[in-house]
Structure 1
Amino acid sequence: MSTLNIRPVQERDLDRCFAIETVSYSGDEAASKEKILKRINTYPEGFTVLENEREIIGFINAGATHQVELSDEEFKELIGHDPAGTQIVIMSVVIHPDYQRQGMAAKLMDDFIARMKAMGKTEIYLICQTELILMYEKFGYQDLGPSNSDHGGLSWHEMSLHL
């Protein structure tokens, strides 16, 4: 069993995070390298990576706000982000395909939720594909129904977790 570590992102993690994003998400669904760099530099408190002794294997990144609009594509570039905001919007929860279905997303999400609670945040929001609803419900997220977002040309569900 490999040793796992969850830690805040650092700028030197950019290339690996971008590689994981592009191999894990299809087409327009994946964030550009520039967007990931902006997320690292703008709100590192909302960006955590999961690594084993060899490499980063996954990450979560998010922004904070006072008013959530999940279909707002500009927020993915952190336009409207306010680090003092009590509501968190997750933009990516991603585990490299080589490490999926091994409980890694659960380890990362449990840590992320605990970090957000410790920071005094009150709610976490995300959008996900239909097949992931049950996974997020295991963490206590509630399905708010279909989203108006057409990010990446796909259909999404909005979910929230009250902290």
Structure 2
Amino acid sequence: MNTPLFRDATPADVSRCYQIETSAYEGDEAATREKIAIRIDQYPQGFQILELDGEVIGFINGGCAHEVVMSDEAFKELIGHDSDAPNVVIMSVVLDPAHQGKGYASLMMRHFVQHMRGLGKRTIHLMCKDRHVELYARMGYRYVKPSDSDHGGMAWHEMVMEL
């Protein structure tokens, strides 16, 4: 296996990240190209890219808040984001479907946690579907509650990791 490379996203990554986002998420669940561009522009250190052999194959992105409200749709455009806030909210964990099932998503998550620890963050929050609750629990996230969000017309669950 070739060595994966992690790095902060740059504006040059917008098109490839949008392509991966729309190939991996269902319908309205995927972030728009504009939201991806905003996230990279406003908080590149919170938008971690995974490259393999020079190709972007996945990414995790998030924003930071003093008070986390997981169902806040405006936050997905980083409205209310504060880079200095101690709580990270993950918005996307996405891998090119051609590279799924090879352990890269878990590798990305471990890297992201270490990266956020290194930035002095205190918690990482995320929302996931039923089928991912156990996976995130194994990674060290604690179940919080069913989410008030109906993002993409789906049911979500809120989870948190203390760093």
Q: What TM-score do you get using the length of structure 2 for normalisation?
A: 0.98
Rounded Cα–Cα distance in structure 1 between residues aligned with 2:32 and 2:89: 18
1:92 is aligned to 92
1:110 is aligned to 110
> Aligned AA for 1:81?
H
1:62-77 alignment, distance < 5 Å: 62-77=62-77
Secondary structure at 2:145's aligned position in 1?
A: strand
Unaligned runs of 5+ in 1: none
Shift of 1:3: 2.4
Which stretches of structure 1, 4 residues or more, deviate above 3 A after TM superposition? none
The alignment status of 1:50 with 2:50, answered yes or no, reads: yes
Q: Deviations over 1:72-120 (max 9, x none)?
A: 0000010110111000000000011111111001111111000100111
Secondary structure at 2:34's aligned position in 1?
A: helix
Secondary structure at 2:67's aligned position in 1?
A: coil
2:130 is aligned to 130
Rounded Cα–Cα distance in structure 2 between residues aligned with 1:58 and 1:82: 24
Rounded Cα–Cα distance in structure 1 between residues aligned with 2:124 and 2:91: 11
Unaligned runs of 5+ in 2: none
Rounded Cα–Cα distance in structure 1 between residues aligned with 2:105 and 2:62: 15
Q: Deviations over 1:97-154 (max 9, x none)?
A: 1111110011111110001001110000000001001111121001112100000000
| Count, aligned residues | 163
1:41 is aligned to 41
1:31 is aligned to 31
Q: Deviations over 1:39-94 (max 9, x none)?
A: 00000110001010041110000000100000000000101101110000000000
> Aligned AA for 1:113?
V
Secondary structure at 2:85's aligned position in 1?
A: coil
1:15 is aligned to 15
Percent of pairs identical after alignment? Answer: 48
Q: What TM-score do you get using the length of structure 1 for normalisation?
A: 0.98
Q: Deviations over 1:15-46 (max 9, x none)?
A: 11000000000111000000000000000110
